[in-house]
Amino acid sequence: MTKERHSTNYSGSFFIHNVKRGVSAKIISFSEDKSKITYYCHREFTVSFKNPEEKVRASYFTELILDYLYPKERINLEVKIPRRTPEDRADIVVFEDDELKKPYIIVECKKDGITDAEFKQAIEQVFGNANSLRGKYASVIAGTTKTAFDVAGFKPSEREKNVIADIPIKYGQAPKYKFIKDESIQDLKIVSREELIRALEKSHDTVWQGGRLAPTAAFDEVSKLLFCKLKDEKDTRKGSNYKFQVGTHESAEEVYARINTIYQKAKAEDAEVFKEDVRLNPKVVYSVVEHLQGLALNKIDLDTKGVAFERFMQDFFKGKMGQYFTPRNIVEFCVKMLNPGKSDLVLDPACGSGGFLLNAMDYVRHYAERNHNKFEAWKLWHDFAMSKLHGIEINDQIARVCKMNMLIHDDGHTNVISMDSLSDFNDISKIHKGFKKDYFDIILTNPPFGATVKSTEKDYLEKYELGKGKNNQKTEIMFIERCIDFVKPETGRIGIVLPDGILTNSSLQRVRDFIMERCQILAIVSLPQFAFSHYGAGVKSSLVFLRRKGEKEKIGNYPIFMAIAEHIGYDATGREVPINDFGTIYEEYQKYLGK
């Protein structure tokens, strides 16, 4: 459980922030080369600062004095434990008396990102120390995951009923709940990108349970709980306890019941995506709540949490669900090429985890923040997110991930639906009336490659120009026609990832003719063979940018901007590299347009 009691107006590393507070208060100091730290408590204690656990201890030491108001003279470090074999030492002990005869709180510090099994070992370690010292409370801190216990009031073997929401402030009573909205010392905390990524990874590892769940199922369950976390942050009223937390003496079943109530409400509001219940046992949910409860997901700045969540998803999606994830460099380039504005209706009919939609939102947000005051900018891009961004995803699990990703970025999730984009327009409109033919200004998409639509399985094949008279057709070809039909005649623009075969194979001339009959080709940018290889897709592809013609529009011969991107900011393994041709290609495209 998280114990921070500082202002949440901070976006860097929470641990570094606390250490700086400790230095300012002159309760810790560093050697000139920062390799050693000195604590000023009951005694001066100097130790190496190179161990990652020391950063956690320094942070919590600062909190104990500045936030929990324990006198530094009653705190000691590396306290020898009697009756322990082999010899053990407690990381931090807070005493009730000046003579240090009455241990009060025993603390065990571990580095951020340890496994659940390692955390349980740390709990046993702190209990052994607390029972030997006869302390009243125990606390285990592993980065952002923290759990506190009432030791004195329970049997030595108890590990569940004696969990408390937080240790007492200055020898007082343990609170019923730790986190209260907009109460500065009890509100959720803002963390850095790396700390957020570790919290997400810990949550996934807890749910995955070492392979008991399939990776995709585990990710789906984490998405459900993250959705609950975000919804709770938004719905909790000022001055009220958050529901997404563990309270003093609460069982796993009680915590699960409260989280499930949040989820069932979300399920009722978004029935087309939230079709399944939470499929985790209460103890697993309880552990995930411990990992996430103290994080202010909604208050972390958008660029920080956007990149953090994308990094977390990217690591997961590689080799598992790669078809749902388009690398950021490609997404950013496509969005920049089509230059969405605040009034443009934007659609991704194969939205996956929401990369194109979120990047379009960020593009408009950055424009608004550069050109308007803070309130005007906030209203402009929020209105854009809520009413202009639309997504369709056939996979229920991934649609939920997309919605949750949108929520992390401050909403816009209500226009994401779970549906087959190739279905009849009337069927799509029944799910959400905002999805109409000839309606959208911009489409940005990376449709699925290689799958086949069969006439025996889908009755809509015959309704497509490119499907008539055929027993089957490739999904990417069907998506081309569907995208053209979705955008407005004359002005609608499309940015789409297509396999090179559509552009070069002689057998697909009919498809190329169809594109040229109905669209003006604005640009074609060839991608390297490895562009999608680290997501399990090795098909050579290009980015194709189109403008739909007017109903009676005729165009003679016209120039087409063409470019080859050999370097795209990452290599075949997905590792970042410094060379990226997209910037130069965009500049050349602007010159081509005469801008």
Contact 55, 18 (CB under 8 A): no
Rg over alpha carbons for the chain, rounded to the nearest Å, is 28
- The answer to whether the pTM exceeds 0.75 is yes
SS3 474: strand
Cα–Cα distances in angstroms (integers) from residue 424 to residues 58, 90, 450, 466, in the given order = 61, 66, 21, 15
DSSP string, 165-176: SSPPSTT-PPPS
Q: 166 has which bridge partners?
A: none
Contacts of 214 (CB under 8 A, 6+ apart): none
Predicted confidence at residue 321, as pLDDT, reads: 55
Counts for the chain of helices (H) and strands (E), in that order: 17, 21
Nearest 5°: phi and psi at 322? Answer: -60, -30
Contact 178, 42 (CB under 8 A): no
Domain 328-593: CATH class, spelled out: alpha beta
Nearest 5°: phi and psi at 221? Answer: -70, -40
Return per-residue pLDDT of the chain as tens, 595 residues: 333 333 333 345 788 889 999 999 999 999 999 999 999 999 999 999 999 999 999 999 999 999 999 999 999 999 999 876 667 899 999 999 999 999 999 999 999 889 889 999 999 999 999 999 999 999 999 988 999 999 998 988 889 889 999 999 999 999 999 999 988 778 898 888 888 888 988 998 899 887 788 777 787 888 889 889 988 998 999 999 999 999 999 999 999 999 999 999 888 877 656 678 999 999 999 999 999 999 998 888 877 887 788 777 776 665 555 556 788 899 999 999 999 999 999 999 999 888 999 999 999 999 999 999 999 999 999 999 999 999 999 988 788 878 878 877 776 677 999 999 999 999 999 988 999 999 999 999 999 887 888 888 888 888 999 998 888 899 999 999 999 999 999 999 999 999 999 999 999 999 999 999 999 999 999 999 988 876 666 789 999 999 999 988 999 899 999 999 999 998 888 788 999 999 999 999 999 999 7
The 3-state secondary structure of 182-205, one letter per residue: CCCCCCCECCCHHHHHHHHHHHHH
